[in-house]
C-alpha cells in the first residue's frame, strides 16, 4: 500500500535536524545529529516521552552499525545523559506522539518490543545489554502500541535506519523475488536481491582459495566478516555463513563466494538457469 511521508528540514540542511511524519498518523520521528543536541533543548517535541534509537559505528573496521534502543520520559534530558556516557553514536532517531498520548508505560512497552525485534533481525549490532521488561498494559493499549510500532518500523527504515527491518527470508516464495544460487571451488551459496542490497543466506559457503587478483581485498573483507560473526572457517577449503548477510552488490557477494573478481549479475542464477541480469536488466 502506498504511503505519504512528509519530511521537514528544520535547519534547511539535508543531513541536519529533521522531522518526519506519515500521513494520518499521530506519531512523529525526529532525526537529531549529535552536534545538534543544543538546538533541541527548547523544542516542545523533544521534551516529551519518547522511544529513541542511537546509531553510529564502534570503529572503522565494523561491518555493521551499532544501535542502542531506549525510552525516556523527557527526550532532551535522556539524550544529554547519553552525550556524556556513550561515545559510539552520531545520530538519534526519536519517536513521539503529536497528541501527547504516549505515557511512560507506552514507551517502555515500545522499547521492549523494539529490542526484541532488533535482536531477532540482526541488522545492527545492538548495544543494549539486557532485555527490557514489558510493562503491564491493557488489551486496548497493547493494540494501540502495536499499531504505533508498525508505523515506527516503516518510518525508521524510510529515513535510512533499517534497525527493525526484517531481511527477506530464504523461504520467501514469490515469483517477483526468486532465489539465486552461486557455486564453484566446492562452495555453494544461496541469495536474493532485496531493496537493501544482495542478501546471502545462512549456511552458504565460500571458498578459502583466493586468486591473486583479489587476495588482498578479499582477505580484508573475509577478516571483517569473521570478526563480526558472519563467517566461520568450516574446513581447509570452505568458510560458512553463520547468519544472513546483506552485501552492497551481487558482485561483492560472488567475489567472496568464488574467491575471484566476478560479475555477480552473471554468476548468480535461479534453478532454471536465469541470471540476475536476465531477470532484472532485460
pLDDT tens figures, 77-99: 999 999 999 999 999 999 999 98
Contact between 247 and 198 (Cβ < 8 Å): yes
Can you give the pLDDT at residue 58? 80
Strands 125-126 and 66-72: parallel
Give all strands of the β-sheet with 238-241 in edge-to-edge order. 205-207, 238-241, 231-233
| pLDDT of the residue at 63 | 77
pLDDT at 176: 79
Compute CA 23 distance to the chain's CA centroid, rounded to the nearest angstrom: 24
| pLDDT at residue number 130 | 65
> What's the pTM value of the predicted model, to 2 decimals?
0.84
For residue 132 the three cell numbers come to 527490557
Q: What gap in Å lies between CA 88 and CA 158, rounded to an integer?
A: 22
The pLDDT assigned to 281 comes to 80
Rounded CA-CA distance 12/8 in Å is 8
Q: How would you classify the pairing of strands 89-97 and 66-72?
A: unpaired
CA distance linking residue 151 with residue 22, whole number of Å:
8
> Quick one: pLDDT at residue 102?
94
Task: Supply the pLDDT for residue 1.
Answer: 79
Query: What's the confidence (pLDDT) of residue 269?
Result: 96
Among candidates 42, 13, 49, which has minimal Cα distance to 31? 13
Three-class SS state of 141: helix
The three cell numbers of residue 169 are 527470508
Q: What residues of the chain score a pLDDT lower than 50? A: none
- What the block records as the C-alpha cell of 96 is 513521539
Closest CA to 177 of 192, 197, 191, 165: 192
DSSP annotation of 213 reads: T
Amino acid at each position: 500500500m502506498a504511503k505519504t511521508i512528509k519530511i521537514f528540514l528544520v535547519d534547511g540542511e539535508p543531513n541536519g535536524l529533521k522531522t518526519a511524519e506519515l500521513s494520518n498518523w499521530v506519531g512523529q520521528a525526529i532525526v537529531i545529529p549529535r552536534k545538534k543536541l543544543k538546538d533541541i533543548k527548547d523544542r516542545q517535541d523533544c521534551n516529551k516521552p519518547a522511544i529513541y534509537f542511537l546509531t553510529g559505528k564502534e570503529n572503522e573496521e565494523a561491518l555493521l552499525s551499532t544501535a542502542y534502543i531506549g525510552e525516556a520520559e523527557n527526550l532532551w534530558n535522556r539524550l544529554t545523559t547519553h552525550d556524556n556516557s556513550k561515545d559510539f553514536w552520531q545520530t538519534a532517531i526519536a519517536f513521539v506522539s503529536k497528541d501527547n498520548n504516549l505515557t511512560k508505560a507506552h514507551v517502555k512497552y515500545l522499547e521492549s518490543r523494539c529490542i526484541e525485534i532488533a535482536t531477532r533481525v540482526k541488522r545492527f549490532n545492538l548495544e543494549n545489554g539486557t532485555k527490557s521488561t514489558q510493562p503491564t498494559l491493557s488489551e486496548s493499549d497493547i493494540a494501540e502500541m502495536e499499531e504505533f510500532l508498525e508505523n515506527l518500523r516503516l518510518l525508521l527504515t524510510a529515513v535510512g535506519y533499517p534497525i527493525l527491518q526484517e531481511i527477506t527470508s530464504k523461504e520467501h516464495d514469490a515469483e517477483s523475488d526468486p532465489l539465486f544460487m552461486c557455486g564453484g571451488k566446492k562452495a555453494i551459496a544461496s541469495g536474493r536481491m532485496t531493496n537493501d542490497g544482495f542478501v546471502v543466506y545462512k549456511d552458504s559457503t565460500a571458498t578459502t582459495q583466493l586468486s591473486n587478483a583479489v587476495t588482498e581485498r578479499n582477505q580484508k573483507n573475509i577478516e571483517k566478516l569473521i570478526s563480526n560473526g558472519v563467517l566461520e572457517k568450516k574446513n581447509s577449503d570452505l568458510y560458512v555463513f553463520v547468519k544472513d548477510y546483506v552485501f552492497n552488490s551481487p558482485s561483492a557477494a560472488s567475489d567472496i563466494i568464488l574467491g575471484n573478481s566476478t560479475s555477480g549479475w552473471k554468476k548468480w542464477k535461479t534453478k532454471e538457469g536465469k541470471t540476475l541480469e536476465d531477470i532484472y536488466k532485460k
